[in-house]
Every structure is written in structure tokens, then in C-alpha cells.
Structure 1
Amino acid sequence: MTRAAHMRAAVLAGPRRLDLVEVARPEPGPGEVLVRLEGCGVCGSNLVPWQGREWFRYPFPPGAPGHEGWGRVAALGPGAAGFADGDRVALLSGAAFAEYDVAPADRLVRIPAAVAGPFPGEALGCAANVLRRSAIRAGDRVALVGAGFLGLVTLRLAVLAGARVVALSRRESALALARRYGAAETLATGADRDADVARATALAGGLLDVVIEAVGSQAALDLASALVREGGRLVVAGYHQDGPRTVDMGLWNWRGIDVVNAHERDPRVQRDGIFAAAGAVAEGRLDPSPLYTAFPLARAGAALEAMEARPDGFVKAVLTT
């Protein structure tokens, strides 16, 4: 596969400033694979550096912080094995807001031939690992608090596992997708947590076996905590990186609940999650395509603006090259 010596990449030059620049194309080192990217998902965690915090140092390296890339193998570094030029892959990397990125061979997953269109594997794998860590079983009564991308994909996987899911969200468009993905009940939440708890438990027939918090806010964590039955599980899947949280330890203690951090940091397990998600998509059991809104790489800033504003019907941005 021929490739140019340079590439385009988005550079986060400062808060709310993404520049498209031409830089040298990376070369794969020992055990690494160069991937010609087709695209990269935009993660909610990308919003924080884009918005700006005092602890960040700008500019970011070209392509950072894109970590949900997919594309085709362009070259193998010395000693890299298991892939061939042209293989379509998802990769665990950190600079995929660009036309090329590199990753160790053991951080790539081959995308099945049956999977067409965007495949932000890292994000889909996260949902598969949330399900795994949730230990959801057939017949479990599950509440999902927050119906964004992670929540909706996890919801679908939970339904496939045989759970009865109640989805809670402030957004009606998100609840419509939750119903499409198999939610047994949906509930539009408001400002009164106690009222939301009363309505959710009425729909579910009581407190829930497993509650997945997939928002990343104090209010969502409080609501999710209140929905867990005695001896049940609270699964924290939301991205809580904007400050400390408080918890109702008295409630957690009294009900004897298990609290599960569903964020996975082991690359081997992250790959396993991507494999699981790819299989579900290839087999037609999971269709994430309605959740994507595509933006060209040159409009990376607009993609992040959409992620922040979340207009009606929007779930997840993907950048395409």
C-alpha cells in the first residue's frame, strides 16, 4: 500500500482551538503497526482538554487525544506479526485524529468482513466490558441512568444477555433509541430525584438488581444509587473527571450494595471487549450505526461542539478521513 511521507492531523492548539495541519507521517517501530485511518470516534472524555483546564499543556501532539481509531494496515514494523497490509482493524492508540496512527500489534483488533461503516472499536469495547463487569444475568432487572452512546450500546448488550432494562434519560430522542434497542420501559427524568425514583420503581416493579450509571455527574450517581435494591449492584460507567463526588454512604451501607467501577485499563481486556463488540455487530445483534454523526477531519472542532451541545437526535460524533 503506497503512502505519502506526510499526513493531515488535527492539533489541539489551545482551549476550543483545533487546527488541521500537515505533519510527518509516523513510522512503525519494532512490534508496531502503521494504520491508514478511516476515522476516529470522538469520546466524551475529549471534551475536557478541548474545553480547557489549567493542568493541560498546549499544543497537544498531532492527532491527540483521539483514541477510538479504525482503518487499514499500511505497514508493519520490525517483528510485528499477525496482520497484513490492507487488513481492516480497530486500534488502541492515542493520536487518531489524523490520517495515520501507530500502535503495538497486540493493541489491534481485526474487524470482521461483515462489519461495514464506522467502527470506533475502543468505545464499543468499553460497553462490552461494562456489561462484563456488571455480571448481568438473564432475568435481572436493570436500570440504565443515561442514554448516551456508552449507555445505549450497554443497554443493547444487556438486553441480549436476557435482562429487563428500564432506561432513564432527560432526552426524549435518547429514550426513543433506548426503546429501539430493546428497553422494556423508558422514563424521562426531571429535577425531582425522589419523583424519578418513585416512577422508575413503579415501572420496574421495585428497586433494581443492577443499576448502571452512564452519565458521569453527581446527580446521575445519586439517582442511580437510590435505585439499587438491597444486595444489588451499582455499576459506575460514567466518566467522573470534573471534580470530587459525594456518596450516600448510609444508603450504600444499609442496603449492602456492591459498587463496581466499570472502567477498564488493561489493554488485553480492552481488546477482548472490542472482539466481543465486533462479534455482536458482525452477527447483526448490535447495530450502532444510528448513533453516529459523521464529520470530516477538517471539522473536528464542529464535532466537539456537537458533543458539548448535544442537539436533538445527536449521540456520538465520528471523524472521517
Structure 2
Amino acid sequence: MADQLTGERTMRAAVLSGPAKITMQQLPLPEPGPGQVRVKLEGCGVCASNLGPWSGPEWLTYPGEPGGMGHEGWGVIEAIGEGVAGLEVGDRVAALSYNSYASHDLAEADKVVKLPANLADQPFPGEPLGCAFNIFKRADIRAGQTVAIVGIGFLGALLTRLATDAGARVIAISRREYSLDVARQFGAAEVIPMDDHQRIVEQVKELTDGKFCERVIEAVGKQWPLDLATEITAERGKLIVAGYHQDGPRTVNMWLWNWRGIDVINAHERDPAVYVEGIREAVQAVASGRLDPSPLYTHRYKLDELAQALDDTRDRPMGFLKAIVVP
């Protein structure tokens, strides 16, 4: 079956062919099976979780799957498999699929979310947007609370906006001045440079009259931010681990967790249905104007430039928050 929209019969895909090495392949256009759709991709976000495979760990085998690592795609449905209801060729969707560093990808029909007409031409990496809403839900943030967010990247900025809109007072902590400026724009009441551990603890203590924060979201994925997040969580508070920890085991201050009675929440979902529900919430929020993530898409790359996009996601040049790759 050719592309029902364009008549194309082949696709392009990026392949992780070695440590920090991407090659491009031209492949036959895949056929959607029962319950599947084929999406002609408009773009795919770059996720920090890609950086582990990109670094070339010993356990990884090469080459990877065509389009592999890409899971933040959106585009237009161009072919539909048997048994699919409620979707049509031409529908613009965000897809929870897993080979989206490509011009096309297959997705299960129940893992795509329609995008309304007023989002036409807007990037929509559904998976990370949905993650923000799922993390926010798990955090149980309420009006009147003080919430510290450790690490202001794409995710931290979104959570700053959501927590502020919920009536919480947000303290944003990040190492880059640019990120702190973004946090202010997204509603943070206080910003603190992430440089000196003890100074940050003392500043948060002063800002909270010695009580620390009812909710702390760690959104970096490194040992030090996790340690810092522990120390600024209030008694009977909640520490939400949203950072993606992929560089080895962690140590935790169990004494302090016990002494303060902290609830520790791993906010990483593994149920695809929960992911999709988060994407639906994100679509509604962006379409209604409640949330505007567009300033956070700071760097755009062609598919052939995926290697550079991954390097920049790792190195975070000035002004970097989120990379998007377009076919």
C-alpha cells in the first residue's frame, strides 16, 4: 500500500549504528496491521532518556531499530489497519510510538490522540507533555503549598506553570540563568541559582520560615539534585522523583526520609493507558490556551541532524530547553 496522502512507497529512518553515530536508511513503507495506524510524522521531540543509548553503554547492541529511541512523535494519519474505528486518514495526531526518528511510524490506534484544528502547524510532542500532567497529578499539589522544582528544563518549566496555576507558590532551582528566567516567565515566585548546596538549603529554609517545602519535584536525574531535594522537603512532605536517572545506582539519605516522614514518589509511568490519558489532558490544556509550551521548543533540527540534536540535548548550549527533529 502506498501512502494514501502522497503516493510515497518508501520512508527514511535514523538508525543508531554505533556509540554516538547515526546513519540514515531508506526503507519500504510499513503496512499498518490490525488495530494500527501509520503516521506520516511532522516531527519528534528529543528526550533525555536517549542519552544513555547515545553514549554507547556496553550492554547495547548495534545497529538499533530504524527510527529507534524516538517516542515523542506527531503527524498525520496516512493509512489505517483493520478494525480501527474513530480515526481517519488525514487526522492530525500525537502518537505514543517508539520508532519516530523517521519520516513515518506505526502506532497502535489506542495510543494516538487527535489534535484539534486550532493546534494546526504547532509542534506537539505528546509523550513529554503528557508526562508533565501525569507527574503533576502524582505530586498532589494544592493551593497554598510551597513547591520547589529542582531543575528547570522543558519538564520543570511546564510543572512550574501547572503548580502556579493550581495556586501553589513555586521556588524554582536551576543551574542556568536562562532557565531561571524561563521559570519566572512560567510563574515561579522565587528563583535560586543551583550552585552551592548549603546556601540553597539555607535560602529555602529562610523563604519558608524554617518549614521547607510541602512538595519538591526533582527534575534533573542526577545524584546531587536528588540529595538537595531531600533536604528541602518539609516534614510529612512529598518528594517527587521526575528526573530520569540512568547513569547508575543512587544513594539516598534514608535517615532524613525517615525522620521527616517524607513520602517519596517515583513519577515515571509505565502503563501506556496512563501515558495516553496524560496526552489527552495536555491536548485539552494547550488547545484551550491554559498552557502554552511553544516558547520551550528552543532548537529545531532536520532528521539528518539528529546526532547534533542529541549532542545539544546532552551539552545544553545557551538558551537550550527542548530539541525537535523534523523529517
TM-score tier (shorter): over 0.9
1:50 Cα shift? 1.1
Q: 1:294 aligns with which of 296, 300, 316?
A: 300
Alpha-carbon separation, structure 2, partners of 1:262 and 1:180: 25
- Mark the CA change 1:3 to 1:197 in structure 2 (over 3 Å): closer, same or farther: farther
Large movers: runs of 4+ above 6 Å: none
Which residue pairs with 2:284 in the alignment? Answer: 279
Residue matched to 1:34: 38
1:48 is aligned to: 52
1:87 is matched with 91
Is 1:220 matched up with 2:225?
Answer: yes
Unmatched segments (≥5 aa) in structure 2: none
CA deviations over 1:211-232 (Å, ceiling 9, x no partner): 0000000000000000111000
Q: Does 1:245 align with 2:245?
A: no
1:112 CA drift (Å): 2.0
Shift of 1:3: 3.5
Amino acid paired to 1:247: V
1:2-17 → structure 2 map (5 Å cutoff): 2-17=6-21
Are 1:201 and 2:214 counterparts? no
AA at the equivalent of 1:265: R
Superposed, 1:82-121 pairs within 5 Å as 82-116=86-120, 117-121=122-126
State the distance in 2 between where 1:200 and 1:114 align. 41
| 2:317 aligned partner | 311
| Residue segments in structure 1 that go unaligned for 5+ positions in a row | none
The structure 2 residue matched to 1:24, chosen from 6, 28, 49, is 28
Residue 280 of structure 1: CA displacement?
1.2
Task: Describe the SS at the equivalent of 1:230.
Answer: strand
Shift of 1:162: 1.5
Deviates more, 1:244-253 or 1:273-282: 273-282
Deviations 1:24-83 (A, max 9, x none): 121100000100000000000011111110011111111001000000010110111111
User: CA RMSD of the aligned region, Å?
Assistant: 1.0
Give the match's secondary structure for 1:47: helix
Secondary structure of the corresponding residue to residue 238 of structure 2:
strand
Q: Which residue, 125, 140, 156 being the options, matches 2:145?
A: 140
Percent identity between the aligned chains? 55
Match of residue 74 from structure 2: 70
Partners of 2:128 and 2:31 in 1: CA distance: 25
> Residues 3 and 224 from structure 1, CA distance in 2 versus in 1: closer, same or farther, beyond 3 angstroms?
farther
